[in-house]
Amino acid sequence: MEIEKNELITKKVGYEAMLYCIKAYWENSGSNDLTDILSGGEYWKGTDEPADSAFWEYWTEAIEKVKSDGPMIKELK
């Protein structure tokens, strides 16, 4: 799996997706250790592939969730 470099999302969608992604990682791994999260998301040396392929799935699912459901925490009005 190679990450496409030409696909763009807004900063807001990226931030909201990050929240969904971290939540999914925590729910599936039970880990709240930041080093676990960061090591799963880093690239294999010299490649465009995440060290943990599941992390990439969490990320792409998170982007789709933001697009379909909106922010994880709805704005207060």
pLDDT of residue 39: 80
pLDDT of residue 77: 45
- Considering the domain boundaries, does residue 56 fall inside one? yes
- Give the CA radius of gyration of the chain: 13
Cite the DSSP H helix spans in the chain.
11-29, 34-41, 53-69
Number of domains observed in the structure of the chain: 1
For 46, the domain range is 11-69
pLDDT of residue 76: 44
Confidence bin at 1 (pLDDT 50/70/90)? low
- Considering the domain boundaries, does residue 6 fall inside one? no
- Considering the domain boundaries, does residue 41 fall inside one? yes
Tell me how far apart the alpha carbons of residues 3 and 22 are, in angstroms, rounded to a whole number. Answer: 19
Tell me the per-residue pLDDT of 39-77, one tens digit each, with 9 for 90 and over: 877 888 888 788 888 888 888 899 999 989 888 876 544
Residue 35 predicted with pLDDT over 60: yes
- Considering the domain boundaries, does residue 53 fall inside one? yes
